[in-house]
Amino acid sequence: MKMYVANATRQTVNFMYRLPGQNGLKSHFIPVGKQMLLPFDLNSEEVDYIVRYNQRYGFVDTKDIDRTKPYTGLIYSLDKPVPTTRLGYMMDHNLEVLTDRGKRNRELAAVAANQTLENELDKTPGMADLNGLEMTIVEETRPGQATSPNPINEGFRVDRSAEAPRAEGRREGGRGGKGKRNR
């Protein structure tokens, strides 16, 4: 079998793998949005070994990318190249996942900053409680640096008086099931 490996990230990837019964690690650089054919035919045991080794790094079969939710850096296909439409789809998906992850990280940074300020206020006698914090995160460019096509400019408000949002997928009753409340 032939194995094609495509890079769905926005950076060059050094694809590394081992083959059963052989010493040493093999590696190949794959440019952004490109794919490569591994330089030899593989049997099913070797394919399984390569897939198992790389799954933890986001290695997904081309036919499974529609069901993929997390970030997926590498896609593989057996006996035929990864279609460019599938590779483009995965690159767009990855950008969306990373954008959402970045926004969530910035939200968590605002909460952490609020907690740090509250802790410092607690240590100082006579200081009022902090009821809320507003934080704005703005991406700035240095002189001579290219500007980002989508610069970050987000504001966050941490408010102790606001009701906490309910976790998605949880029922009202917690562990009680069928909406009953445990007491």
d(CA 129, CA 117): 10
Low-confidence ranges of the chain (pLDDT < 70): 68, 126-130, 160-183
pLDDT of residue 142: 80
d(CA 117, CA 171): 33
Domain that holds residue 83: 3-88
The string over 5-14, giving b where at least 16 C-beta atoms fall within 10 Å of a residue's C-beta and e elsewhere, is bbbbbeeebe
Q: What is the number of structural domains in the chain?
A: 2
Of 41, 152, 65, 146, residue with least CA distance to 102: 152
Has residue 11 been placed in a domain? yes
Question: Do residues 67 and 30 both lie within one domain?
Answer: yes
Question: Do residues 12 and 48 both lie within one domain?
Answer: yes
d(CA 106, CA 78): 40
Report the first-to-last Cα separation within the chain, whole angstroms.
61
Question: Do residues 10 and 58 both lie within one domain?
Answer: yes
Around Cβ 73, how many Cβ atoms within 10 Å?
A: 20
Has residue 67 been placed in a domain? yes
Question: Do residues 7 and 79 both lie within one domain?
Answer: yes
d(CA 10, CA 73): 9
Has residue 95 been placed in a domain? no
pLDDT of residue 7: 95
Question: Do residues 31 and 81 both lie within one domain?
Answer: yes
pLDDT of residue 99: 84
